[in-house]
Amino acid sequence: MTWAWRRLRVLFSTQFALMAEYRAEVIIWMLSGTLSLVMMLVWMAQAAAAPGGQVRGYSPAEFATYFLATWLVSQLMVVWVAHELDPAIRQGQLSPWLLRPLDPFWSYFIGHVAERFVRLPALLALVALFAWLAGAQFTREWWVYPAVVGLAALGFTVRFLWEYLIGLLAFWTDSSTSFQELVWLLYAALGGMFAPLAFYPEWVQRVAVWTPFPYMLGLPAQLLSGKATAEQAGQGAAVLLGWGVIFVLLRLWVWRAGLRRYGAVGA
């Protein structure tokens, strides 16, 4: 146990130092993920112009709450591992990693986790500022906050795993970025970045509940707006766990199959 703990601590502190180097960039990256903010402004204007000042029971302030919460959660779920794995595999940089007594998966994973801690202070400050400007109000129920942190951690892990899988495709193909874009589209759309899921056509909703996406963005956002119950949070966590297990097994299998294929450059 202490063995694993020491590795974790060393990995975390080195990765944190590495990510802290990029603190200015991290803020720019945060500001460039504007899709949910754009959608927030459009929906707020739609609700303000609608008769009764509401669209499907959402007032402008409630839209502000929902979309700011989506933005917050989506910022915690940013994953770029596919972009790093792709050149590592193609150019043979993976080889020295394979000599270490630790699956490279863990370095990437801890690196992403460490970056969350670099991101968090500025992220919370920006959310507070935007919430004040747009008139968003987050729920006062205390249990929601640990639940959201838990769902976000699960959601991040699931997203990290599928991005890692896409990155591993570099063992076989030379263009994984387009797959990544497609999966991102599904995640953003079914996650509820364009609108709360209840606004989608019914057949889309019926498909979406079986995917992990609605529980990664929409559900935490609904919780923070005070529009979801503890029971729904529990169900969401169960679905995410299920997908997490599937992706973990897939990852192990693809990794082994990939290594058998891997020739490295010049090997």
Which stretches of the chain bind another protein, using CB under 8 A?
Answer: 25, 28-29, 31-35, 38-39, 41-46, 48-51, 55-56, 173-175, 177-179, 181-182, 185, 188-189, 194-195, 199-201
Q: Angle of helix 230-261 relative to helix 144-168, nearest 10 degrees? A: 20
Q: 175, 116 in Cβ contact below 8 A?
A: no
Kindly state the smallest distance separating residue 142's Cβ from another protein, in Å: 32
User: 105: left (phi > 0), else alpha (psi -120 to 50), else beta?
Assistant: alpha
Beta bridge partners of 58: 55
Query: Going by C-beta distance under 8 Å and a sequence separation of 6 or more, which residues neighbour residue 80?
Result: 112, 163
Kindly state the smallest distance separating residue 182's Cβ from another protein, in Å: 5
Kindly state the smallest distance separating residue 11's Cβ from another protein, in Å: 26
> In this complex, which beta carbon is closest to another protein, that of residue 199 or of residue 262?
199
Q: 168, 104 in Cβ contact below 8 A?
A: no
* Cα 107 from Cα 11, distance rounded (Å): 7
> In this complex, which beta carbon is closest to another protein, that of residue 1 or of residue 28?
28
Kindly state the smallest distance separating residue 193's Cβ from another protein, in Å: 9
> In this complex, which beta carbon is closest to another protein, that of residue 51 or of residue 101?
51
* Number of neighbours of residue 195 by Cβ within 10 angstroms: 20
> In this complex, which beta carbon is closest to another protein, that of residue 46 or of residue 93?
46
Q: Is 92 helix (H, G, I), strand (E, B) or coil?
A: coil
Kindly state the smallest distance separating residue 194's Cβ from another protein, in Å: 5
Kindly state the smallest distance separating residue 27's Cβ from another protein, in Å: 9
> In this complex, which beta carbon is closest to another protein, that of residue 49 or of residue 120?
49
Q: 262, 89 in Cβ contact below 8 A?
A: yes
> In this complex, which beta carbon is closest to another protein, that of residue 47 or of residue 94?
47
Query: Going by C-beta distance under 8 Å and a sequence separation of 6 or more, which residues neighbour residue 155?
Result: 73, 77, 212, 215, 216, 217, 220, 240
